[in-house]
Chains A and B, each alone.
Chain A
Amino acid sequence: MASIEIDGLVKDYQNRQGKQTRVLDGIDLSISGETFVSIVGPSGSGKTTLLNIVSGIESLSNGSVRLRAGDRDAKVGYVFQDPRLLPWRTVTQNLRFVQHDRSGWEQRAQHYLDLVGLGHLGDRYPAQLSGGQQQRIGIARAFSVEPDILLMDEPFSHLDAMTSRSLREHLERIWLESRRTVMFVTHDVTEAVQLSDRIVVLAPGGRIHETIEVDLPRPRRASDPAVAMLQAEVLARFEVMEAAA
């Protein structure tokens, strides 16, 4: 079972003149098991920074982050805001590139490409795919390493409403089939409600404003009244926070 333990995480950025800005200010967060956690918050509240620190892309200034899977270090998959595929490699080669474990990777790659509905496009180059298709490859890539922990940074925000709705459904389906610990960043509250077990609201200045448990049956439909009601409620609380800031 995988877990993410974040303790007193602080992140300062230093600008050219040596002045420090605090971007994350004492984040405590503990996620364990096959939980889907969303991080929501206004632009600039430090969501991407948080994910980057958790994934090891960026360093932290203070505090600690521990990723564990049983008694070993957890394997991480990351879905970025943009697809970030190698343009000179085919879809399949892109999936191959990220494999730690080369044994059986072809079946894994094919399996997750099938799950995002693009199993027939393995030989294409990224430039030969639409934006939405590229993003789906990015999702398949992250799942294909069979990560203990899956990090996603607004994976649908560059896409039109229709594509992102269908990808949300894809994502929920894949996750239900292949559950793992997820940290999902979004600024879209309705998206967070539809996908998450727990919603962590970041306030401007990089503190946790509140944590909301979502206990609704899955799969969830956006049109489900219970989902819609909770969405309205969370949105209202979110607006109160933004107004206070």
Chain B
Amino acid sequence: MTSPTATTEPPVTPPGQSSLNARLRGRRPRPDGARGPSRWLVSLVSLLAALATWAVVAWIIDDNILPTPFEVFGRVADFIVSGAAFSNFAASIVKIGIGFALALAAGLPIGFVMGRSRFMSTYFSMPLFVLGNVPGLAYAVFGLAIFGVGATGPIVVSALVAVPFIAINVAEGVRSVDGGLLRMCRAFDRRPVDVMRHVYLPAITAFVFVGVRYAFAMAWKVEALTEVFGADNGVGFMIRRAYQEFKVADMLAWTMLFVIAMVLIERGLARIETRVFAWRKELA
């Protein structure tokens, strides 16, 4: 009766779902020390080179269609100073947050029963597969068609986008729970509530985190797209308005803010993850 303590393994990425960001970041273990700063330096050089190329191309074209980086940065600064950046990001993030809360409320129980029962796993796999593979544009259009302009469309859309990621990862987490630990709980006569809280939940948390991070990257994009079609505030809405008024610099500025926000939030999640999973850390 030797059972591997599979629970200590990091969660797997669900098949067919990968995050470009995570792969670009190259999360391979790297030898500590000297390599850290040099990576930063290379990234910085690459960024500067891109900006320089942009500046040169804009200078050659010399047309409204492509503003210079300085104009765009100027607009970014304007949006930040005027507070428009914060109010619109807040609007988008609140919608995503509510959508995520709904997705967790649905995804946790669905994932749990999927992890426990083969029947449930088969039962839910098709609808989740469909949800996970509907193109973002279709979500955006349906969101507008069904809910009209307003907050409901983006909220529902981000919930629908996130549910499959969360459910599949929770199911994986439940399956990963070591049978040996469950038998240990029985031998020591632990109550089901305690088993849920101290065995299932921690085992699932690691997987939920992965699901949330992937789901977030997806939901964030689809939500912005939905805002383009049917919203009265938010980042996507601002991009569309800039487009209608043919303010290319504003469009690029919002896009830039969007990317920056996305990176910051992803980093934030990664940091929380490291803290929550202190138990995985090797002996210091």
Instruction: Find out whether the CB atom of A55 lies under 8 angstroms from the CB atom of B2.
Output: no
A222 to B3, CA, bound (A): 31
Mark each residue of chain A from 58 to 92: 1 if its CB lies under 8 Å from any CB of chain B, else 0. Answer: 00000000000000000011101110101111100
CB-CB under 8 A for A76 and B189, given A86-B198, A87-B5: yes
Contacts of A98 in B (CB 8 A): 188, 190
Shortest distance from the beta carbon of A54 to any chain B beta carbon, whole Å? 10
A231, CB-defined interface residue at 8 Å: no
- CB-based nearest B residue for A88: B202
Q: Give residues of chain A (31-74) contacting chain B, Cβ–Cβ below 8 Å.
A: 48, 52, 55-57
Instruction: Find out whether the CB atom of B180 lies under 8 angstroms from the CB atom of A89.
Output: no
A76 to B183, CA, bound (A): 13
Instruction: Find out whether the CB atom of A87 lies under 8 angstroms from the CB atom of B2.
Output: no
- Chain A count of residues within 8 A CB distance of the other chain: 28
B233, CB-defined interface residue at 8 Å: no
CB-CB under 8 A for A127 and B8, given A86-B198, A87-B279, A98-B188: yes
Size class of the contact patch on chain B:
20 to 34
A145, CB-defined interface residue at 8 Å: yes
- CB-based nearest A residue for B278: A125
- CB-based nearest A residue for B9: A87
CB-CB under 8 A for A87 and B180, given A78-B187, A125-B278, A127-B279: no
A128, CB-defined interface residue at 8 Å: yes
Instruction: Find out whether the CB atom of A80 lies under 8 angstroms from the CB atom of B278.
Output: no
Instruction: Find out whether the CB atom of A57 lies under 8 angstroms from the CB atom of B183.
Output: yes
Instruction: Find out whether the CB atom of B198 lies under 8 angstroms from the CB atom of A97.
Output: yes
Contacts of B187 in A (CB 8 A): 55-57, 76, 78, 80, 151
Instruction: Find out whether the CB atom of A125 lies under 8 angstroms from the CB atom of B190.
Output: no
Mark each residue of chain B from 175 to 216: 1 if its CB lies under 8 Å from any CB of chain A, else 0. Answer: 000101101101111100010001100110000000000000
B158, CB-defined interface residue at 8 Å: no
Shortest distance from the beta carbon of B42 to any chain A beta carbon, whole Å? 33
Interface of B is mostly: helix
CB-contact partner of B5 in A82, A90, A151, under 8 A = A82
B275, CB-defined interface residue at 8 Å: no
Instruction: Find out whether the CB atom of B190 lies under 8 angstroms from the CB atom of A97.
Output: yes
Contacts of A218 in B (CB 8 A): none
Contacts of A78 in B (CB 8 A): 184, 187-188
Instruction: Find out whether the CB atom of A77 lies under 8 angstroms from the CB atom of B188.
Output: yes
CB-CB under 8 A for A56 and B1, given A86-B181, A97-B198, A127-B280: no
A89 to B283, CA, bound (A): 15
Instruction: Find out whether the CB atom of B186 lies under 8 angstroms from the CB atom of A57.
Output: yes
Shortest distance from the beta carbon of B111 to any chain A beta carbon, whole Å? 19
Shortest distance from the beta carbon of A10 to any chain B beta carbon, whole Å? 20
A100 to B190, CA, bound (A): 8
Mark each residue of chain A from 143 to 160: 1 if its CB lies under 8 Å from any CB of chain B, else 0. Answer: 001000001010000100
Shortest distance from the beta carbon of A231 to any chain B beta carbon, whole Å? 26
Instruction: Find out whether the CB atom of B202 lies under 8 angstroms from the CB atom of A86.
Output: yes
A156 to B65, CA, bound (A): 74
Mark each residue of chain A from 104 to 146: 1 if its CB lies under 8 Å from any CB of chain B, else 0. Answer: 0000000000000000000001111000000000000000010
Contacts of A100 in B (CB 8 A): 189
Instruction: Find out whether the CB atom of B180 lies under 8 angstroms from the CB atom of A125.
Output: no
Q: Give residues of chain A (187-203) contacting chain B, Cβ–Cβ below 8 Å.
A: none
Mark each residue of chain B from 79 to 122: 1 if its CB lies under 8 Å from any CB of chain A, else 0. Answer: 00000000000000000000000000000000000000000000
A-B pairs with lowest CB-CB distance, top 3:
A78-B187, A88-B202, A125-B279
| 6 additional contacts (CB under 8 A) given A97-B190, A126-B279, A158-B2 | A48-B1, A76-B187, A84-B5, A86-B199, A86-B202, A125-B279
22 contacts between A and B (CB under 8 A): A56-B187, A76-B188, A77-B188, A78-B184, A80-B183, A80-B184, A84-B178, A84-B183, A86-B202, A87-B7, A87-B280, A88-B202, A88-B277, A89-B279, A97-B188, A97-B198, A98-B188, A127-B281, A127-B283, A128-B281, A153-B1, A158-B2
Interface residues of B, Cβ cutoff 8 Å to A: 1-3, 5, 7-8, 178, 180-181, 183-184, 186-190, 194, 198-199, 202-203, 277-284
